[in-house]
Amino acid sequence: MQAPPSFYEGDTLEVAKKLLGQKLVHTVDGIKRSGIIVEVEAYKGPDDKAAHSYGGRRTGRTEVMFGAPGHAYVYLIYGMYHCFNVITAPVGTPQGVLIRALEPVDGIEEIEFARYNKTDITKAQYKNLTNGPGKLCRALGITLEERGVSLQSDTLHIELVPEEEHISSQYKITAGPRINIDYAEEAVHYPWRFYYEGNPFVSKK
């Protein structure tokens, strides 16, 4: 079952934690690629100095952040790596959750080929398939084409995992500072990164 629009409403920190254990799905050329979300970071602009929308900054890139919750915000870092975010909070409040890592589930061969241009990969390469925001976008085929897409779409959405299959019973949610935001002054220390402690696909322990 797809997460309904109401899933993305409410406090961004709570939505971030709710996303853990759910399945991010992207269908490419009719083939489903997916992974269980195991690591996220919350960004609460305009008061969060780590957020692109800090201070209410509104640009062509960040415009989608000011829209309705439950849409995709995709951007490039270093001019080459895509990052996928889920928009949260009411219209006009630019907040979102960065998906940092996934545990691969569907379309494994397609994911392997997207990452390594081959499907005969080592255990170490498998562990590195989706353990970072740029890696998971490459693996799932998420690009700037998906910026602004509703997560109610058939091709890009969050699938709710039934309680009996949910991996929350296997891992404890840990909170800590977000990664690679040294520019963000006091926001560097906000414990707004949430992940499943011990999951092998988490990007950084």
Residues 38-75: tens digit of each pLDDT: 999 999 998 999 999 998 889 988 999 999 999 999 99
What are 154-194's pLDDT values in tens digits?
Answer: 999 999 999 999 999 999 999 999 998 888 899 999 999 99
pLDDT at residue 112, rounded to an integer = 98
pLDDT at residue 89, rounded to an integer = 92
**Residue 126 maps to a domain:** yes
In one-letter notation, the amino acid at residue 133 is: P
Record the pTM. 0.96
pLDDT at residue 181, rounded to an integer = 87
Mean pLDDT of 98-110: 98
Residues in Cβ contact with 94 at an 8 Å cutoff, skipping those fewer than 6 apart: 45, 46, 51, 52, 53, 56, 58, 62, 65, 66
**Residue 130 maps to a domain:** yes
Computed over every residue of the chain, the mean pLDDT equals 96
**Residue 48 maps to a domain:** yes
Query: Element (H or E) spanning 185, and its range?
Result: none
Q: Are 99 and 37 in contact (CB under 8 A)?
A: yes
Q: Where residue 119 falls among pLDDT bands split at 50, 70, 90? A: very high
**Residue 109 maps to a domain:** yes
pLDDT at residue 56, rounded to an integer = 85
CATH number for position 24? 3.10.300.10
Q: Is the pLDDT of residue 120 over 90?
A: yes
Q: Is the pLDDT of residue 96 over 80?
A: yes
**Residue 204 maps to a domain:** no
Residues in Cβ contact with 53 at an 8 Å cutoff, skipping those fewer than 6 apart: 43, 45, 46, 62, 65, 66, 94, 95
**Residue 201 maps to a domain:** no
pLDDT at residue 60, rounded to an integer = 86
- Distance, in Å, from the CA atom of 129 to the CA atom of 136, rounded to the nearest integer, reads 7
- Distance, in Å, from the CA atom of 88 to the CA atom of 86, rounded to the nearest integer, reads 6
- In percent, how much of the chain has pLDDT > 90? 88
Q: Is the pLDDT of residue 205 over 80?
A: no
Q: Identify the weakest region by mean pLDDT among 106-115, 147-156, 163-172.
A: 163-172
**Residue 114 maps to a domain:** yes
**Based on the structure, what is the number of domains in the chain?**
1
The Cβ of residue 198 has, within 10 Å, a number of other Cβ atoms equal to 12
- Structural domain including 122 reads 5-193
Mean pLDDT of 81-95: 96
